[in-house]
Amino acid sequence: MERIYLDNNATTIVDPQVREAMDPFYCQMYGNPNSLHSYGIEVRPYLHQAMEQMYAGIGARDEDDVIINSCATEGNNTVIMGMYFNLLKDTRKKRLVTTQLEHPCVREACRFLETQGVQVTYLAPDRDGMITAEMVKEAINDKTALVSVMWANNETGLVLPIKEIAETCKEKGVYFHTDAVQAIGKVDVDLRDVPIDYLTFSAHKFHGPKGAGGLYIRQGASLPPLLHGGEQMGGHRAGTVDVAGMVGMGKAMEIAVDSLDFEDKEVRRLRNKLEDALLKNDDVMVVGDRELRTPNTLYVSIRGVEGEAMIWDLNEHGIAASTGSACASESLEASPILTAIGADKELAHTGVRFSLSRFTTEHEIDRTIEVANRAIDRLRQLSTSY
Amino acid sequence: MAKNDLIGGSLWEQYSEKVSERMNNPRHFGELTQEDAQAMNGRLVVANEGAESCGDTVRLFWVVGDDDEVIKSAKFKSFGCGTAIASTDMMAEMCIGKTVEQATKITNLDVEKALRDSEDEAAVPPQKMHCSVMAYEVIKQATAIYRNVDVATLQEKNIVCECARVSLQMVEDAIRINDLTTVEEITDYTKAGAFCKSCIEPGGHEKREHYLVDILARVRGEIERENNPDGVVGDDFLSLSIVKQIKAIEQSLDQYVRPALAGDGGGVELDDVCLGDDGLVHVHIKYQGSCKGCAGSVAGTLSFVQKSLQGTVSDKIRVVVAQS
Ligand SMILES: Cc1ncc(COP(=O)(O)O)c(C=O)c1O
Ligand code: FES
Ligand SMILES: [Zn+2]
Ligand SMILES: [Zn+2]
């Protein structure tokens, strides 16, 4: 069966060019970059090159740090735990401000700090799924140490007003962290324009390998490491660096940034085509203004069609999408974004996410439209509520 | 356990072939009409059921034979996930050919068993057991409509765990007979709480009338007082003056509750004590320190405090969090 992958917000195919760049570091140049001998020496230029690509990709300045680690989960935890040991633990600063939209790796880290006596504000989005700079401003007080707001949401694709939020934090004199996992390669991320202290990303979300990530730390905002040990990453993150992973991530970053224009035009066109086609069915609703979303993401609610049942039918025809439906989760909890935007029960059960990539083809979208329409018809025939 | 649990299971991998097959091709979906019923010399019954917390709904159609009460045909419609559709389909099939009386005895456990590929392998992962409960409830609803009686008269009384169909009596007996002290033990002995977990403590997927934590606390308290008849118990506590009640509560908080919470950097403060409409003494508490604002631990802490007070002061106590 022909398979079609429309779950690119979960993870992506590794770009063949990225894989090619990684290949020599497994069986040929496998030295430890910290070694003194030739095996160590020969890999170092590639790491420098990867660093160049990473710095250029997000517009970091030479004096800032981009720490290469294992994933965004690690980066986000490094920031939140680091903030605890630096400030929250025993200075007057006792508060964190974040949002209800964050990925569990931010939310649960905050929850953990609550057990250590830190006060956390979880901002609720407005009806459009947005967090505004105004909300952040109001939530900050003189005890606030850090604000953490994601750049783009993984479920809806909504892009938050990060520039204004960052500027608000700067004005108020609190540190600002953003989880940019869903933004890299989808929208312009340029730290020369935006005063951000900490930013995190994961390579596998932009056609790089799994298990490689980055944490940007602005000069002067340094944090204690999460992993203590050797001198790697200037002592900021101990552990032998995954050379192939880092090289692959550098290449993936370079291509992702070069492809932004394609993403904005071509991926957006295909996404809109799918969206328009689904909206031709009655009682279909899409979450979030199209112009305010990443170009690849579509979160749709189809009345009378339970989310897990929908992705089941799609999967039976080789199409991979995902759902925030309660019934499909380990905990039977509906996806927090749906509850957060005040969705009714029905929506909390019908949400289906399609996320495209620059590898998605027109043919794939046409086929998805056909299969999705048939699934909607079948499930609505079965349905009591339609 | 660990080796298999570290890479969590995918939901769909745990569905039986029969579940997938019925999800793809349900055999009994559709509707039955008055005309269908007449043609079959029977009566049409249409029942609706909905699980409020998850938004799943099901509609069951029966044609029941006029002279023999046998269900001649059954069809359904459903808004729910794959497991809900598959179990409703199986349930409808199991109704056909049975008398209404026999059909009323079908439970979600029977439906799950019928969906298994092999006898000792569950048809659905534990948390999805919940999605088959509705299939069971709609049968009761249909019978009630058919017999023109209140559905409550047909429902088993005091079911604590819907997924495993365990009653209050079964849980109480298990605690007493085996001297159980933890919820995990109750689950091991009775299977209550092994599936969607809604019945363990407040704050889960679905609101329940009884929770295992509360039953455990109450029965433990009863056992304790049976062993130590000199303590202040039950109705005696209700007849104490409010000052004496407060004293007893404060004393117990100091002795049992505060030391335990202090370990996590938290605490509780007594805010008010009053007699509630339910005839119980309501103890209003406020959280302090790390207990405060920690959504994850609020339900757990509350039930811990209540359990301690019920066990050491009186089972006529209910603990509530004071609104600040
Ligand atoms: C917004 C967001 N943040 C963080 C992560 C975590 O990424 P990783 O699992 O690579 O650490 C994800 C992945 O789903 C995500 O979507
Ligand atoms: S009610 Fe689902 S496990 Fe008890
Ligand atoms: Zn449910
Ligand atoms: Zn379900």
Residue B132 has pLDDT above 60, yes or no: yes
Q: What is the pLDDT of residues A168-202, one digit of tens each?
A: 999 999 999 999 999 999 999 999 999 999 999 99
User: Which of A100, A108, A312 is the best mutation test for B, with the most CBs of B within 10 A?
Assistant: A312
Among residues A80, A66, A76, A24, which one has the least CA distance to residue A253?
A: A66
With contacts defined as CB-CB under 8 Å, which chain B residues touch A383? 77-79
Are B264 and A115 inside 8 Å of each other by CB? yes
Structure tokens at B228: 């130590």
Residue B324 has pLDDT above 60, yes or no: no
Q: How far is CA A163 from CA A58, A79, A154, A189, B233, in A?
A: 14, 19, 19, 10, 63
Percent of chain A with pLDDT over 90: 84
Q: How far is CA A70 from CA A5, A34, A197, A198, A202, in A?
A: 24, 18, 20, 16, 8
| Residue of A79, A110, A153, A205 to test ligand 1 pocket, by largest number of atoms within 8 Å of CB | A205
Percent of chain A with pLDDT over 70: 95
Greater pLDDT, B55 or A65: A65
Assess whether A327 carries a catalytic annotation.
yes
Q: Please name the residues in contact with A336: beta carbons below 8 A apart, sequence gap of 6 or more.
A: A100, A101
Q: Whose CA is nearest to atom 14 of ligand 1?
A: A10
Q: Which architecture characterizes domain B232-324 according to CATH?
A: 2-Layer Sandwich (3.30)
Ligand 1 center to residue A73 CA distance, Å? 6
Are B296 and A345 inside 8 Å of each other by CB? no
- What pLDDT was estimated at residue B7? 81
Contact B16, B115 (CB under 8 A): yes
Mean pLDDT, residues B99-118 taken together: 94
Ligand 1 atom with the smallest distance to the CA of A182 is: 1
At residue A342 the predicted structure's pLDDT band, cuts being 50, 70 and 90, is: low
**Minimal-distance CA residue of chain A relative to B128:** A327
Q: Which architecture characterizes domain B9-151 according to CATH?
A: Alpha-Beta Complex (3.90)
| ipTM score for this prediction | 0.85
Contact B73, A377 (CB under 8 A): no
Q: What is the pLDDT of residues A110-124, one digit of tens each?
A: 999 999 999 999 999
Q: Mean pLDDT for chain B? A: 86
Residue B297 has pLDDT above 60, yes or no: no
Contact A79, A85 (CB under 8 A): no
What's the pTM?
0.83
With contacts defined as CB-CB under 8 Å, which chain B residues touch A325? 81
Task: Report which DSSP code applies to B254.
Answer: I
Q: What is the pLDDT of residues A279-302, one digit of tens each?
A: 999 999 898 899 999 999 999 989
**Minimal-distance CA residue of chain A relative to B58:** A384
**Minimal-distance CA residue of chain A relative to B21:** A316
Torsion of CA A85, A87, A93, A94, to 10 degrees: -10
**Minimal-distance CA residue of chain B relative to A111:** B294
Class of CATH domain A16-258? alpha beta
Are A384 and B290 inside 8 Å of each other by CB? no
SS3 for A49-113 is HHHHHHHHHHCCCCCCEEEEECCHHHHHHHHHHHHHHHHHCCCCCCEEEEECCCCHHHHHHHHHH
Residue B109 has pLDDT above 50, yes or no: yes
- What pLDDT was estimated at residue A331? 65
Structure tokens at A10: 């979960």
Mean pLDDT, residues B83-88 taken together: 92
At residue A58 the predicted structure's pLDDT band, cuts being 50, 70 and 90, is: very high
- What pLDDT was estimated at residue B292? 56
Q: What ligand has the least distance to the C-alpha of B54?
A: 3
| Residue of B184, B199, B212 to test ligand 2 pocket, by largest number of atoms within 8 Å of CB | B199
User: How far apart are the C-alpha atoms of A258 and A262, rounded to whole Å?
Assistant: 8
Looking at the complex, report in whole angstroms how far the Cα of residue A223 sits from the nearest Cα belonging to chain B: 24
Among residues A198, A190, A245, A194, which one has the least CA distance to residue A219?
A: A198
- What pLDDT was estimated at residue A5? 98
Query: What is the CATH T-level fold of the domain A261-382, as seen in this structure?
Result: Aspartate Aminotransferase, domain 1 (3.90.1150)
Structure tokens at B164: 């495993």
The one-letter code for the residue type at B192 is A
Are B59 and A326 inside 8 Å of each other by CB? no
Lowest-pLDDT choice from A49-58, A95-104, B133-142: B133-142
Domain boundaries, chain A: 16-258, 261-382
Domain boundaries, chain B: 9-151, 156-230, 232-324
Closest to B130 (Cβ–Cβ): which among A116, A330, A332?
Answer: A332
Lowest-pLDDT choice from A19-28, A175-184, A319-328, B77-86: A319-328
Q: How far is CA A7 from CA A11, A12, B170, in A?
A: 7, 8, 46
Q: Where are the alpha helices (DSSP H) in B239-294?
A: 242-252, 258-262
Closest to A332 (Cβ–Cβ): which among B24, B59, B205?
Answer: B205
Q: Mean pLDDT for chain A? A: 94
Q: What is the pLDDT of residues A369-383, one digit of tens each?
A: 999 999 999 999 998
Residue A318 has pLDDT above 90, yes or no: yes
The one-letter code for the residue type at B205 is H
Residue A361 has pLDDT above 50, yes or no: yes
Mean pLDDT, residues B90-112 taken together: 94
φ, ψ (nearest 5 deg) of residue A371:
-65, -40
Task: Report which DSSP code applies to B134.
Answer: H
Q: Helix (H, G, I), strand (E, B), or coil: what is residue A243?
A: helix
With contacts defined as CB-CB under 8 Å, which chain B residues touch A326? 54-55, 205
Among residues B80, B132, B145, B128, which one has the least CA distance to residue A384?
A: B80
- What pLDDT was estimated at residue A91? 86
Q: What is the pLDDT of residues A321-332, one digit of tens each?
A: 998 776 776 666
Percent of chain B with pLDDT over 70: 91
- What pLDDT was estimated at residue A346? 67
Torsion of CA B48, B52, B53, B59, to 10 degrees: 10
Q: How far is CA A296 from CA A176, A376, B176, B305, in A?
A: 26, 22, 58, 49
User: How far apart are the C-alpha atoms of B247 and B150, rounded to whole Å?
Assistant: 47
Task: Report which DSSP code applies to A173.
Answer: T
User: How far apart are the C-alpha atoms of B211 and B204, rounded to whole Å?
Assistant: 10
Residue B295 has pLDDT above 50, yes or no: no
Place of tokens 């799994």: A210
Residue A336 has pLDDT above 80, yes or no: no
Lowest-pLDDT choice from A103-107, A132-136, B158-162, B255-259: B255-259
Ligand 4 center to residue B128 CA distance, Å? 6
Among residues A212, A210, A242, A215, which one has the least CA distance to residue A226?
A: A215
Ligand 4 center to residue A381 CA distance, Å? 18
Please list the helix, strand and coil fractions of chain B in percent, rounded to the nearest 5, in that order: 45, 20, 35
Inter-chain contacts counted by CB atoms under 8 A, chains A and B? 91
DSSP β-ladder status, B159-161 and B166-167: antiparallel
Greater pLDDT, A319 or A128: A319
Residues in contact with ligand 1 (CB, 6 Å cut-off): A 71-73, 103, 105, 150, 154, 179, 181-182, 202, 204
Mean pLDDT, residues A119-139 taken together: 93
